[in-house]
Amino acid sequence: MICPLFHLKLLFFAWVWFYDDLVKKILVFGSAGKVGSTLVPYLKEKGYEVIAATRQDCDLCKQNDLVDYIVSQKPDVIINCAAISGIESCLDDPVTCHYVNVMAPQTMAQVSQKEGIKLIHLSTDYVLDGRRPGLKTEQDRIRPINTYGESKAEAEWRVMDECPSSIIARVSWVFGSLGKPGFAEAIWNKLLKGELISAVGDKDSIPTWLPDLVEWLSEMIELPSCSGIYQLCNSGEPLTWSQYAQLVIDSAYSHGAIEKKPTIEVQKLDEMSHFRDARPRYTAMSCQKLANLLDKPIRSYEEAIDLAIQSYVARLKDAR
């Protein structure tokens, strides 16, 4: 007869193994940025041990230091939100752009492959061919037309080459944080100040709401077989910046934040003289592959924008 104590020990070790398998240590690079600053607290609330890495913790331009830092932290998962994302910043300083946007992700992939770490690397719709209208899938050609897009495209290739089990998560027009404002927040702030609203009407993409984005990333962490390129954005048809601005205005009006809807001054992309590097015109991404992976519909950007503005209105009322 097997001693009952033996059964208890087996149950104890099984529980320890199961618990260890569930609890993840996640290393987030770019933790102070727009995505990282929302992702870190979200993951902590989910019960993960999170290492929030900033520039002060690790200089991504120093590859040897990056290797040592990752190995010393012993993460189960790396989520790389770090990037030089300013289009003109990349144009003016292509060397730093290359180190941060290309070499650092490649190094993360090399270490991840060697140490058995799951890597999620954030990319952008700017890698896509923006020469024709319509929603782009993950299989569509990538042919970037500016320094930033070129660096992110090269990073995608290098990450997948070094660590084929990695996840490339493309995002676009990220919004949802008043502290790290995106386009929706910029329009919201102009509305509150009564300023002129202007926006480009001949370039399109798809917005990505931060609360949805961090939820998708969290779900992807727990899918061991998930790898490859995924487009993480809200659902809907391509829309221009001017159409995007109109949705923000309509939502603000419907929730009582403004008494009258202002008229949008529609601009042309070629008229934007402060855009010194080219912008692709048509980079709207399809999120169908993401919906299939998560086995659920993806929230529309119309609903996401309205929820975001509703929350800003509530915060405004609380402040008063």
Domain residue limits, the chain: 19-319
CATH classification for the domain delimited by 19-319, as one of 3.10.20.600, 3.20.20.140, 3.30.70.1290, 3.40.50.720: 3.40.50.720
The DSSP bridge pattern shows strands 239-240 and 204-205 to be: antiparallel
Given this model, what pLDDT does residue 3 score?
A: 52
Tell me how far apart the alpha carbons of residues 27 and 107 are, in angstroms, rounded to a whole number: 14
Please measure the distance between the N-terminal and C-terminal CA atoms of the chain and give it in whole angstroms: 72
Hey, what's the torsion of the CAs at 250, 309, 199, 87, to 10 degrees?
A: -160
Region of 200 please: left (phi>0), alpha (psi -120 to 50) or beta: beta
**3-class secondary-structure state, position 45:** helix
Provide φ and ψ at 231, rounded to 5°: -105, 115
Given this model, what pLDDT does residue 17 score?
A: 44
Q: Mark the ranges of the chain whose per-residue pLDDT is less than 70.
A: 1-23
Q: What is the pTM of this model?
A: 0.91
Tell me how far apart the alpha carbons of residues 131 and 121 are, in angstroms, rounded to a whole number: 25
Maximal C-alpha separation, the chain: 85
Given this model, what pLDDT does residue 15 score?
A: 40
Given this model, what pLDDT does residue 129 score?
A: 85
Specify burial of residue 25 (Cβ count, 10 A radius: 0-12, 13-18, 19+).
middle
The DSSP bridge pattern shows strands 118-124 and 264-267 to be: unpaired
- Residue 153: CB atoms within 10 Å: 20
For tokens 């097997």, the residue is 2
Given this model, what pLDDT does residue 10 score?
A: 47
Given this model, what pLDDT does residue 317 score?
A: 84
Closest to 252 (Cα-Cα) out of 188, 205, 183:
188
